[in-house]
Structure 1
Amino acid sequence: MDEQERPKTTDDQAKGMSRRQFLVTSGYAVGGAVLGGVLGYLLPKRQEAAPPAAPAAEGNDYGQALMFFTQEQFSIAQAATERIFPTDENGPGAKELGVAYYLDHQLASEWGFNARDYMQGPFFVGEKVQGYQGRLKRRDIFQIGLREMQNYSQSQYGKAFVNLTEEEQDAVLTAFQNDEVPVTTISASGFFSMLRSGTLEGVYSDPLYGGNKNMAGWAMRNYPGSQMSYTQIMDKDFTKVPPRSLKDHVAHS
């Protein structure tokens, strides 16, 4: 019988399924290797239920998908950054600008692993002008800080941080800023400083990195973004240039 006409046996079907499963598994493995193990938990394990899916991307913006935070951590970060950079008459706040996604993506990257920092001991208490001197990576600091924000909110108000009023959330953030929260593993004020800096970065960074959605952060500052050149308007009167993202240049290259 011709090979093409031979009916498929149970062994053939099993081989097909094994190959399909291999392709799926190897695809996850490659992603995990590239991201330093961020996606490692997606690898299927025997007798275990599949992990919960990350929140769906808003609209068609697939850059707004979680890579590091749990859903709870993301919700706390989103609420906290909104209080640091709230919506007002000048324009959108951190939540609408996608700042929590920016933080999530940065913590999943080399920045979150302190890949370019010297992280070997011995560790001493450094001066403020020396910057961070600890053994914990930024991703560890954020995980601890967000958990302590939740614990402090529960102890002071009996509610999760995201369920507090805006005034109560401000009080929690102020307590961290002033080192009034008894945290032993990290500096409460150091975590707040990192959170605040990350918030401003997410507001004004290129949208390619997850924040500054629709370049609205730049629009509030009349900032032109990533323009390749200004030669076409250098000899003209003042010209207001619409902002451009790095991905705009990729799309038109």
Structure 2
Amino acid sequence: MADKNTHTDTPDHSRRRFLKYTGTAIGGVVVGGVIGSAMSGGFKKNSSTSSPSPSASPQATVTADYNQAPMFFNQSQLQITEAAAERIFPKDDSGPGATDLGVAFFIDHQLASPWGVNARTYRMGPFVKGEATQGDYLSIERHELITMGLNSLEETAKAKYTKGFVDLKPEEQDAILTSMEKGEISVVNGITGKTFFNQFRVLVMEGVYSDPLYGGNKNMGGWKMRKYPGNQMSYANMIDKDEFVTMEPRSLHDHFVH
């Protein structure tokens, strides 16, 4: 981030000051930290190596993709998340599944964000079961719901099949997820698997179709399956066309890396 005492008006420094001081929110995630660095410089950054001298042999450029790095889950939780997400949105002839789209990393990044700790959510009791049209009002935070739900998946798999969830056959994984969806498996303190499953499924679908800036929809594969254009700068040159126009999708990230 640019130093707060810097007063240059170049677009890059101006943008950085804006992101640093306004706390702008995009898609529910507050800009700053990882997201802020993504928009001001991109998640993919070359390693800082000195330029080789003319006599030195060229060095290979090393690129790190920080979208593919866990920020909240341990490796076991990440693997269970990936396996469960793939069963909800599996790879088929239409395109990639949740694994190839990096959905597990999207969920991980969401749980590491203020959203994961229910920031800006009313948190005072009493915590009572609402009507079907009201949804759940939980005494635990979202990151607790997801991690406890993942733990229930693992415990159920070992109790029923004597294997971890990631080692089960697809149909066995489906059977456990179906029991979760029906509320037949408890998560904690009367919170059923249905509550976990409903929240988890929403996260999976968001990871498939959200902007790649947030960790999922890798290579905009989810958008490409739907022929969704993403975040284009303008549609002025095609708004009056009668036929459907297929466009190469663009991410928010594309507008900030140049």
TM-score by length of 1: 0.74
Gapped regions of structure 1 (runs ≥ 5): 1-33, 36-58
Structure 2 CA distance for aligned equivalents of residues 137 and 182 of structure 1: 16
Larger fraction in strand = 2
CA distance in 1: counterparts of 2:166 and 2:196, whole angstroms: 18
Name the aligned partner's letter for residue 104 of structure 1.
Answer: D
Q: Identify the residue that residue 101 of structure 2 maps to in structure 1.
A: 97
Task: Tell me how far 1:237 sits from its aligned partner.
Answer: 5.0
For residue 164 of structure 1, what is the amino acid of its counterpart? Answer: L
Paired amino acid for 1:136 = I
Aligned partners of 2:182 and 2:135: how far apart in 1? 18
**How far 1:233 sits from its partner (Å)?**
1.8
Distance in 2 separating the partners of 1:162 and 1:228: 41
Q: CA deviation at 1:60?
A: 3.5
Q: Which has the larger radius of gyration?
A: 1
What whole-Å deviation, never above 9, does each CA across 1:147-201 have from its counterpart, x for those lacking one?
A: 0110000111000000000010000100100111144422210100111110000
Match of 2:200 among 195, 202, 214: 195
Which letter maps to 2:167?
Answer: N
- The residue that corresponds to 1:241 in the other structure is 247
| Structural mapping, 1:177-196, within 5 Å | 177-185=181-189, 186-196=191-201
Contact 2:152 2:186 in 1 (8 A): no
Q: 1:96: how far off?
A: 0.4
Q: Which amino acid aligns with 2:99?
A: K
Q: Which amino acid aligns with 2:70?
A: L
Identity percentage over the alignment? 52
Which of these residues, 232, 238, 248, is aligned with residue 227 of structure 1? 232
Specify the code of the residue in structure 2 equivalent to 1:226. N
Q: Does 1:166 align with 2:186?
A: no
- 1:42-81 counterparts in 2 under 5 A? 60-81=64-85
Q: Work out the CA distance in 2 between the residues paired with 1:110 and 1:131.
A: 21
Cα 1:139–1:184, aligned 2, differ >3 Å: closer, same or farther? closer
How many residues are matched?
Answer: 196
Amino acid at match of 1:73: Q
Q: Does the 8 Å contact 2:148/2:188 carry over to 1?
A: no
Q: 1:184–1:113: structure 2 CA closer, same or farther, 3 Å change rule?
A: closer
RMSD over equivalenced CA pairs, Å: 1.5
Give the Cα separation in 1 of the matches to 2:97 and 2:168.
18
Whole-angstrom distance in 1 between the partners of 2:188 and 2:217: 34
Of 202-211 and 175-184, deviating more is 175-184
Name the structure, 1 or 2, with higher relative contact order (CA <8 Å, separation 6+). Answer: 2
Moved beyond 4 Å, runs of 4+: none
1: distance between equivalents of 2:203 and 2:187? 21
Task: Write out per-residue CA displacement over residues 88-121 of structure 1, whole angstroms, 9 at most, x where no aligned residue.
Answer: 0000000000000000000000110110210111
Name the amino acid aligned to 2:207.
G
Q: What are structure 2's unaligned runs of at least 5 residues?
A: 1-31, 34-62
Describe the SS at the equivalent of 1:118.
coil
Aligned to 1:205: 210
1:1-12 paired onto structure 2 within 5 Å: none
Deviation at 1:236, TM superposition (A): 4.0
Q: Which amino acid aligns with 1:248?
A: D
Which residue, 121, 132, 139 being the options, matches 2:136?
Answer: 132
TM-score with structure 2 setting the length = 0.73
Q: Look up the match of 1:214.
A: 219
User: Which residue number corresponds to residue 157 of structure 2?
Assistant: 153
